[in-house]
Homo-oligomer: A and B are copies of this chain.
């Protein structure tokens, strides 16, 4: 089969790791007789540098015409500490999510037995952890009205959610729970926020259609504690945009392997697949960044394109690299392999 893949490598280590995912997909294409046509486009700080716009129209158009989007990372420190910057790389990412209707961000968090020693948490705490986080991605305070008073004295951000926005992602999360351990935890702050109360009410209503799924609720502050105290209690977590940002990043480090975590953003027809880690400016160009998360994002993409055998092949190759210790310094500080070497191994193995 033939697929058009939009390649948005972005900033920092984005291009280096995405290159390994491309290498991997090329190997898959050879073995399984597919054609992946990769079309590059700009997003983030590099797009600002070249065009003044963190998300040029061409990029949106390319993505819309593609079968899937493979994303690297965005962000550059020169924008982070400049609160008055008018254009920021992140705007590109947010606009992309909105333009492509990617309202559902899925992050699997798993404690790989082989990496468990790398975790800051004790082995007995994380052992068996296998969570799927469903984060709403195109609503909430991220996309509310922003305002700063003329005298610069008062700033505000609006947060709103509609029943419709909650409903569409809730169904996806309940279905995921049905395919897993049949437990769904809604994370909110319903004791304080009106939007959270609407989440709780709507999700409670929808739960009636999924009687085999057990629904429970956790305030976000408590969830932040439980994630450390007892992460294996969670199956599927459903939450709004900002809480999802915080909780999923927190969850990502407990397995000891943030360099291995991939994510999918779906909603409309075209899905976007990306590593959880950011642009990691300090490592840029050094050939030391872990490409496995990007490679596993490619596997998630294949699964979304219904190429399950192919996705399995990538995941098996990743397991093998872990088993043999052919990994970058974040996992294997004593005998680190370079980014490209890890990519080569994965491609060869396939």
**Which residue numbers of A lie inside 8 Å of B, CB to CB?**
75, 79-81, 83-84, 88, 90, 94, 120-122, 125, 141-142, 144, 146-148, 152-164, 189-195, 197-198, 200-201, 204, 217, 219-222, 224-225, 227-230, 242-243, 245-250, 252-254, 258
A153 touches B163 (CB 8 A): yes
Bound Cα distance from A144 to B226, whole angstroms: 28
Instruction: Return A276 CB to nearest CB of chain B, in Å.
Output: 10
Cβ contacts under 8 Å, A198 to chain B: 83, 148, 152, 154-155
Query: Which listed residue, B90, B144, B191, B253, touches A88 by the CB 8 Å rule?
Result: B191
CA–CA, A192 and B93, complex, Å: 11
Contact B146 A194 (CB under 8 A): yes
Q: Are A194 and B160 also in contact (CB < 8 A) when A121-B121, A228-B228, A253-B228 are? A: no
Contact status A246-B229, CB under 8 Å: no
Residue of A194, A204, A243 with most partner-chain B CB within 10 A = A194
Q: How far in angstroms is the closest Cβ of chain B from A141?
A: 7
With a cutoff of 8 Å between Cβ atoms, the chain B residues found around residue A120 in the complex are 121-122, 125, 228-230
Whether A246 and B217, one on each chain, are in contact in the complex, defined by CB atoms closer than 8 angstroms, is: no
* A141 and B159 contact, Cβ closer than 8 Å, known pairs A80-B191, A190-B80, A201-B84: yes
Query: Can you give 9 A-B contacts (C-beta < 8 A)?
Result: A80-B191, A81-B200, A81-B217, A84-B201, A88-B191, A155-B162, A155-B194, A156-B158, A189-B242
